[in-house]
Structure 1
Amino acid sequence: MKISIHFLKDGGIKMLKSKDKIIIQILCVVAAMITWLFVVNEVNPISGKDVASIPIIVRNSEALEEMGLVVAGIDISEIRVTIEGYRNDILNITRNDINAYIDVQGYKEGLNKIPVELELPEGVNMVDYSPKQVLCEMEAVVNRTIDLSVEIDGLVESGYYIGKSVSSVNSVIIRGPRSVVNSAVKAVASFNVNEGTDSLKKRIPIDVYSDKGLELNVRITPEIAEIMVPIYPTKRVELSVPIAVTPRDGYEIATITVEPKDILVAAEPDVLANMEHVLTDAVEYEDATSNIYETVSIITGNYILVENVNPVVTINIEKITSKILTFNLSEIEYINIPQGFTVSTTAEDQPIQVEVTGLSSFIDALVKEDIRLKADVGLLEGEIGLIPIDYESAKTFRDIAIEFESVEVLLTATEPTTEPTTVTTESTN
C-alpha cells in the first residue's frame, strides 16, 4: 500500500487521497467499538437482581362483579422476580417499579388457577419469577339484612345514667362474598358518651363484625346512622309496699321489712325532683297465722330503674299470748312521800299477780325485773286510805292487768330526833 504525503510550506502535512482511506475509516470504527465494549463491561456491566414482596394486583374485578362474582381470596398475595439489565438501569429498581397482576375477567365461581403477568420498566429484562400462577377463589356476591346494635363507649359523669339509644337505622344491608356475608354476626355503631351530663346526638359510621370479632370488608347500606343517647340524672328513693294483711284473731303483725329499702332511679330532672318513693305491687293476705315472705314487682312509671332488684317483703305474724308475774305488796315502790312521814300498808304482806299480754316473742323474753310496781302517796287524802297501784317499765305492752287496783296505806309521822349539844364554858384565870 502506497501513501503519498506532501509537506506544506507552513509545516503542515496533507494526506493524499487514495483508495486506502476507507480502510482507515474502518479501523477507526473498530477502535470506537472496542472502547465502547470496554466501557460497558468495566464501567456499566449487565447484571442481575432479585426483587421480593411484589404485591399481586387484581385487574378487571369490576367486570367480574357485573357477573355477580367477586374475588373471595388468593392463596399468595406477593411474588419474587429476578431481573437483569445494565447496572445503572436496575440499581435503583424496587418492588414499587414492577407491576405483578392477575386478570380475573372471564373466570367462574369456585377455585381458579390464574397466571401472574408482569410489567417491567424499560431497559429491564425478566429472568425468572415465582410463583407463575396463583389459586384464586371466586364467590357469588350476596346481600343480607342484619340488625344494627348501638354500643356505648366511655362513662357519663357520676350521678347520671345512660338511657336507651334511639337510632335512625334499625338494620343494614350488607353485600359481599357469600362466605364473608354468612360469617357476619352483628352490625355495630359505637357511640362515645364522653362523660356527658346531657342527651347527645351524633352521626356514627356502621361496622360489621364476624363471630370471631373481626371487622368484615363488606359494602354496608346505609353506612351512617343518626343516633340519640339520652342521659338522665339519678336519685335514690324509698320502696313503698302497700300492705293489706289481716291476721287471724289472736294473732298480730309483729314487723314488716322490705329488702332493699330503696332503689336508684333515673328520670327527667323535673320528674326526679318530686320523686320520694316508687310503688310496688300490694301484699294481700287474709286470716294469716304465720310469717309471710313475698317478692313484689315494682310498678313502672315515667322513670327508669337503674338497679335490677327484686324487692322481698317479710311480714312476721305472731300469736298473742299472756304471762303472769307474781310480786309481793312489799315490793311496791312508794313515791311522793311527804317529808317527815313514813308509809306502810295496813294489810299483811301478800302476793299480787300481774298479767302481761303481747306478742309471743316479747312475752317469752319478759321477766319480773322488766316491771316495777309503784304507788303515788301524793294521791292519798288524809293519813290513811287507798291509792292506785301503777307500774313502770322500759318496755311497751299490748295490755297489762294488775290483780289489785289499789293498796291501803298509812302515813306515820317520824319521831323528831334531838341531837345532843355541847356547852363550852370559858375559864377565867
Structure 2
Amino acid sequence: MATMTPTDPEPLATAVVTTLAVHFDPQAREASIFYWERGLSYREAVVAAAEQTGDETTSCLVGELRERPADPAVRLALHTRLVELAADGGGEALETLFGRAWAAESNSRLGYHLGRHYDGTGQAVVRPERLGTRAPGDGLGPGDEPQVRVVVPFRDRGPGLRLRNLLACLQALRDQSVPRAFYEVTVVESDGTPRWRDTVLPHADHYLFACKPDSFNKSWAVNAGVVNTPGRAEIICILDADALVDRDFIARNVARFHQPGAMGHLSYRDMWCLDEAATSWAIEERLWRRAAEVDPDHLRAFVLRRPPGCCVWVRTSAFHRIGGMDERFEGWGGEDNDFAYRMDTHSAFDHYNDPLLHMYHPSSAVLREDGELVNAHIPALSWGPSAEPIGDLHRFERPSPTGPRPAPHERRADTHVS
C-alpha cells in the first residue's frame, strides 16, 4: 500500500536530525516563537523516540547533539548512523523514530540549515560603528526619477544590532547591478525621537521620522514611507531592515514586472534567520569582500517556511487599491499576513524562491496567554481604501481635539471582504 512517508532513509535521517536540532538549539525559539510553539508536540515525540532506539551509538550522538546542536560533525555523525541502522534492517524503534520525524517535518514551519563550512567560534561581531566607517556609496543625482521605491521601516532602542543590520541592508542596496538612478531607498524611523537620523542619512536617499514613542507600528511606518517620499515610482518594495540582499536583488525583481498581469510578489518562499556568527560573516562577505551573494555553506540559519512580509514587491497602483497596510496592527505579528492576503485577493500576486537572509537581532516577539499573536483580534481582510489618508506622519504625534485620531478603516466600514 502506498504511503506518504518516504522509504529512502536519507531524507528520513535528515528529518530526525533537523527536528532534534531545532528542539535542542536555544536560539530556535528566538527565530520564531510562534512557529516554535506550534511544532512543539511533534518535536517532543521525536525526542522521546530518539531516546529509545536501543542503539548505544545513536543514544550517545543524540546526547552530543543536545549539548552541541550547532556542531556540523555531530549532525553528520548522527545522520550517518541512522542511515547505517536502516541499511542493517532497522527495526520497529527506528521505524517509529522515522515516522515521527517525518510527521514533525510535515507539520513544522521551522527548519534548520547548517552549512558544511560553518564555524561559529572565530567570527568577530560586526558592530554598527565599523559599518559607519565604510563609504556610503553613490546616492541619487539631481534630476533622477527613480522607478522603484524601497521602503525600510526601522526602530532600534536596544544594543545596536538592529542599527547594524539596517546599515548593512542599506550598503548592500547601494551595491546593485542596475543603474543607481533607477531606484531610491527611503528609511522611516518610528520612535519617540529621531535617535539614528544622522547615522542613517548618508546611506539612504530619503529619511523620514514618524513620531510614535510607544509600540512600533510597521504598517503605519511603511504607509508613511510610500506616501511621503517625493516622486512617482511605479514599483514599491517593502523591505525588512534586517534583510541582507544580493547584488542582483533589484534587477531580478523588477524584471518580474515585465510579465503580463504581474502586480506584486513575495520574492522568497523561506526566510533564513541567521545566528550572530553567520550574520557577521555574511556582512563581511557581502560588503568587505564584495561578494555578489553570500555562500550558504558558511551559514547557520533557522529556516522559517513560507512567512510573509520580509520582502514584498508591489505596483504602486496595487498598493493604493487595497489601502496600503493595515494601520490597526500594533507591536509584532499579523500585519504582513494581512497585507499578503489582501494583495492576493485584489491582485495577481506571485511567489518566487529567491534566497532571503535575515540578520540576527534579539527577538521582540511575544504571544498572548492563549498562544495567539497579539493582533489576532483584528479581522483579516477588513482594511481598505478610505477618505482618511494613510501614512499621516503626525497621526500619533498629537491628539485630535475630539479624541484619538481614527484609523483610516473607521471611515469606510463597507470595505470588509467576507
Greater RCO, CA 8 A, separation 6+: 2
Higher strand residue share: 1
Q: By the TM > 0.5 criterion, same fold? A: no
Range of TM-score over shorter length: under 0.3
TM-score, L = length of structure 2 = 0.19
Structure exhibiting the larger radius of gyration computed from Cα positions: 1
Bigger proportion of residues as helix: 2
